[in-house]
Amino acid sequence: MITPQYDIIVIGAGHAGCEAALAAARMGSRVLLITKDMNKIAQMSCNPAIGGIAKGQIVCEIDALGGYSAIVTDASTIQFRMLNLSKGPAMWSPRAQCDKLHFSMNWRYVLENTSNLDIWQDTVTSITFKESNISGVRVAMGAEFDCKIVILTTGTFLNGKLYIGNEVVHGGRMGESPSLALTEQLSALGCTTARMKTGTPPRIDARSIDLSKLEKQDFDPNPSKFSYLPFKTSIQRGKEQKPCYIVHTNNNVHDILRTGFEQSPLFSGKIKGIGPRYCPSIEDKLRTFAGKESHQLFLEPEGWNTHEYYLQGFASSLPLSVQIDALQEIEGLRGVKVFTPGYAVEYDFFDPTELHPTLESRIVPNLYFAGQVNGTTGYEEAAAQGLMAGINAHLKLNNKEPFILKRDEAYIGVLIDDLITKGVDEPYRMFTSRAEYRILLRQDNADNRLTEKGYQLGLVDQFRYQFTRLKYDLISNHIDFANNTTLTPEDVNDYLSSIDSALLSHKKKISDLLSRPSTSISALLKYVPRGTIIDFNLSEKLSKISSIETEQIRNLLEMPWGKTEGRGEIDPEFVSEEILKSAEISIKYKGYIDRENNIAEKIRRLENLRIPDDFDFSKVTSLSMECRIKLNRYRPRTIAQASRISGVSPADIQVLLVYFGR
């Protein structure tokens, strides 16, 4: 059989695989994406939502670099909420409930309309080698495809098993067969593998629920979005959003669930894999929090035109009858009908400490890993790894320097550094607490941090690049204006009185007034004296770039679900609001931002202290024994990375600094 030759083959079309294949193809590599089912591309196997605490920031970073997760999410959103608005902007996190069918179909549209990218529906049975080099893959239907690099993004499918009570089914998702033999092949080559476990709750029929008895969880009335492209989403243009609901378990529910504990594969020892501590199954919650009389659950719609709802917080591997009986005892769910029961999934993953920062294996050259195969959980973490693997695979093929993000540059940098430096002892999930520079890594400024980098890589197109430059020029202008413009008591005291803020006795700069928690820049600008010029010619400047036609804009406008109507005219008022928000954050939190930048600069000096790739730490006898063992195992690239490895003390770092002449 004659088959085309490819530069890169991506195995698996989940969130990691989609971003990996798209990035590499858009940069110029010839890419083949192999998936078991083309109708389940970027399937939302668990919660039909994107974003959340820290995860939302990751999606914004993917967008700023030129990835597509944010664009597809915005086109598929049925409800939007900005979380943590009562806290500082470092904690604000966007979250969108999505129509999961639209999400998958929009991703498929983007992939099918990307140059250099082919799709093949089949199951990969092995990676092929010529001598010691990767030469391609072999699939179940007998075909072989040649390539130079393979990116493995198989999610939960490697030797996957599904558990419901005493029932065990081989599969990666309900109704889908697992991927066999790949783990064994890579293990034989020296890759370290182990098992992890995740779970999913029942999907239930909303027609059998009394929604009037449930607490409605409303959406943001003025919704934001993920992508920095200056076009409104359908819900921003007025399309009505769908609500979620809050429900609670009770003692009757708990008593019924406990009757199934003897048949729980989680408690019987059938499941060997490690589960997520922060997102336990309902039976795990009852055992861990034995004295708690109620647990909060969220009932979330799976789409615009379906009655299927997702019961977040009720993941379970208990017998089907126990699950259904317990659901009947929840307020509003008497007589509920179930589309799909909850079940647990156990699957193989590979030790991420055996990866380079590019996500290339240190054991098998030209093999990249991304997503849950690295021990992570979540669509967002997977998509970020896929994007970085796709970028770096293309760069390696073209003999270019790798693309590595530092911890002070992006949550993506924190994610990958944590994985390759610390490894995982449970499914890894990103939290804002994992990022020591979270004031710098906000959801509002990822385009400022990363779009220039995406442009240099060739992922960010001319329109987005020009718009981002214009946007931040205008933000800078607003900041300068606030720093240099004063308001008198006569100008502004009425406004200050209306928000219960102390009145002025003498004039003050707008930037000084913004240090007060209740003030906003949009309000203060209304009190600027007449004759003061504050028009930065936004409309005129936007008109100069609005005619630039690019592939991303065409995909955005022509996406089959949730597409932008008409030409996608840029709304100057909408852009102005975003500019004012960013300027206000920069002014209000300047002291914190400057302090964190100073700390990051000090650590950055250690990041620049490279350690030779073949350095033998065992010969530095003044290092502790544990330190030498850990450093030889994890092979840190820099002194800073070495400092983050468990078991490496500050004294050990001082020894390394002296040894390398610093």
Q: Which domains does the chain have, with CATH numbers?
A: 8-201+347-457 (3.50.50.60), 203-344 (2.40.30.260), 462-549+571-591 (1.10.10.1800), 608-659 (1.10.150.570)
The torsion defined by the Cα of 555, 550, 35 and 393, in degrees rounded to 10, comes to: -150
- pLDDT computed for residue 600 by the predictor: 86
- pLDDT computed for residue 418 by the predictor: 93
Q: Give the lowest-confidence range in 176-180, 184-188, 303-307, 378-382.
A: 176-180
Of 382, 383, 438, whose CA–CA distance to 409 is shortest? 438
For 320-360, what is each residue's pLDDT tens digit? 999 999 999 999 999 999 999 999 999 999 999 999 999 99
Q: Is the distance from CB of 250 to CB of 108 less than 8 angstroms?
A: no
- pLDDT computed for residue 509 by the predictor: 95
Backbone φ and ψ of 221, nearest 5°: -65, -30
For 515-544, what is each residue's pLDDT tens digit? 998 899 999 998 988 766 566 778 888 888
Q: Token digits for 180?
A: 């066999």
Q: Token digits for 190?
A: 């020296």
Residue 177 makes CB contacts below 8 A (sequence gap 6+) with 36, 123, 170, 171
Average pLDDT over all residues of the chain: 92
pLDDT at residue 595 above 60?
Answer: yes
Question: How many Å apart are CA 61 and CA 70, to the nearest integer?
Answer: 9
Of 234, 226, 241, 301, whose CA–CA distance to 73 is shortest? 226
Q: Which amino acid belongs to residue 490?
A: E
Task: Classify residue 662 as exposed, middle or buried by CB count within 10 Å of its CB (0-12, 13-18, 19+).
Answer: exposed
Q: What is the DSSP string of 590-603?
A: HHHHHHHHHHHHHH
Q: Which amino acid belongs to residue 459?
A: L
Going by pLDDT thresholds of 50, 70 and 90, the confidence category of residue 564 is low
Question: How many Å apart are CA 410 and CA 421, to the nearest integer?
Answer: 16
- pLDDT computed for residue 610 by the predictor: 86
For 232-269, what is each residue's pLDDT tens digit? 888 988 899 999 999 999 999 999 999 999 999 989 88
Better-predicted residue by pLDDT, 643 or 295: 295
Q: Is the dihedral of CA 363, 368, 373, 375 positive or negative?
A: positive
Whole-angstrom CA distances from 609 to 297, 404, 584, 656 are 48, 15, 36, 10
The position carrying tokens 């066999």 is: 180
Q: Token digits for 218?
A: 């409303």
pLDDT at residue 500 above 80?
Answer: yes
Backbone φ and ψ of 269, nearest 5°: 95, 0
Backbone φ and ψ of 28, nearest 5°: 120, -5
SS3 state of residue 656? helix
Residue 120 makes CB contacts below 8 A (sequence gap 6+) with 32, 33, 34, 35, 139, 143, 145
pLDDT at residue 14 above 50?
Answer: yes
Going by pLDDT thresholds of 50, 70 and 90, the confidence category of residue 567 is very low
Residue 361 makes CB contacts below 8 A (sequence gap 6+) with 191, 354, 355, 367, 368, 369
**Bridge-partner residues for 98, per DSSP?**
77
pLDDT at residue 384 above 70?
Answer: yes
pLDDT at residue 218 above 90?
Answer: no
The position carrying tokens 């008593």 is: 255
Question: How many Å apart are CA 20 and CA 314, to the nearest integer?
Answer: 32
Going by pLDDT thresholds of 50, 70 and 90, the confidence category of residue 661 is low
- pLDDT computed for residue 532 by the predictor: 67
**Bridge-partner residues for 195, per DSSP?**
348
The position carrying tokens 């590019």 is: 358
Question: How many Å apart are CA 363 and CA 597, to the nearest integer?
Answer: 36
Supply the pTM of this predicted model.
Answer: 0.93
How is residue 438 annotated by DSSP? T
Whole-angstrom CA distances from 515 to 35, 172, 375, 597, 628 are 53, 52, 42, 19, 49
- pLDDT computed for residue 212 by the predictor: 94
pLDDT at residue 596 above 80?
Answer: yes
pLDDT at residue 569 above 80?
Answer: no
Count of positions (residues) in the chain: 662
pLDDT at residue 552 above 90?
Answer: no
Q: Is the distance from CB of 170 to CB of 287 less than 8 angstroms?
A: no
For 124-159, what is each residue's pLDDT tens digit? 999 999 998 999 999 999 999 999 999 999 999 999
Question: How many Å apart are CA 602 and CA 28, to the nearest integer?
Answer: 37
The position carrying tokens 């889908």 is: 176
